[in-house]
Structure 1
Amino acid sequence: EEDPAAIVRYWRDRVPSGSYFFVSHFRSGNNPETAEAEKVLQQTFGRGRWRTDEEIASLLDGLEILDPGVVPASLWRPAAVGEPWGDGAARELTVWEHLIAAGMARKA
């Protein structure tokens, strides 16, 4: 109801070309594990909306979404997930890590 797409459009229309936008957002995992975590967080915060990756990407309409696209936020720093101090092997993301997505876009 707060219309986050309108907020992004407002700033998109006012910043110069070459500006970057970064968004992080609760994301729907569409599975029983993340559905339960969403329920807990919704009760904790009392408000908010979870969106699919496609819905989150649509918030960046009119901008060039940069690689790797809208992904779990932990994957924006995959070395941190892969424990660079160890053997570098990637680990599975937790249910909670799957609930936060991030994406970066640039105004052409």
Structure 2
Amino acid sequence: NDEEDPAGIVRHWRDHVPTGSHFFVSHFRSGGNPETEEAERVLQRTFGRGRWRTDEEIASLLDGLEVLDPGIVPAPLWRPDTAPSPWSAGGAERELGVWEHLIAAGLARKA
């Protein structure tokens, strides 16, 4: 929720950790299409709170930090080349389902 000032929380820690520190974020992600909007409504009713953000809004929470590759992406796609992944079959990428698009992940570093 914005009332909890997530950007302010990240800023606080950014200002109090040493250079080279890493910040990992996972966040509910807005898909901007009818399928993900319906999934967002279902989850909002289930949890009763929370805020979905676009990739750009999630990245803005990491203001002042260097967002590392591959950036803010659907969680199943974050560094899929580091280990065998259920997201590919025989080296061929498969399409992510609606629910798999709803959580984004990213890593940033304090320079």
- Normalising by structure 1, what TM-score? 0.94
Distance 1:6 1:68 in 2: 24
Preserved contact between residue 76 and residue 100 of structure 2 (Cα < 8 Å): yes
5+ unaligned residues in a row in structure 2: which ranges?
none
SS at match of 2:63: coil
1:81-100 alignment, distance < 5 Å? 81-83=87-89, 87-100=90-103
**Structure-1 residue corresponding to 2:74:** 72
Out of 57, 62, 68, the residue aligned to residue 64 of structure 2 is 62
For residues 65 and 97 of structure 1, the distance between their equivalents in structure 2, rounded to whole angstroms, comes to 21
Structure 2 counterparts to residues 1-108 of structure 1, below 5 A: 1-78=3-80, 79-80=84-85, 81-83=87-89, 87-108=90-111
Shift of 1:77: 3.9
SS in 1 for 2:56: helix
Query: Where does structure 1 differ by over 4 angstroms across 4 or more consecutive aligned residues?
Result: none
Residues 70, 79 of structure 2: 8 Å contact kept: no
- Structure 1 unmatched runs, 5+: none
Question: Aligned pairs, how many?
Answer: 105
Q: Structure 2-normalised TM-score?
A: 0.91
Identity across aligned pairs (percent)? 80
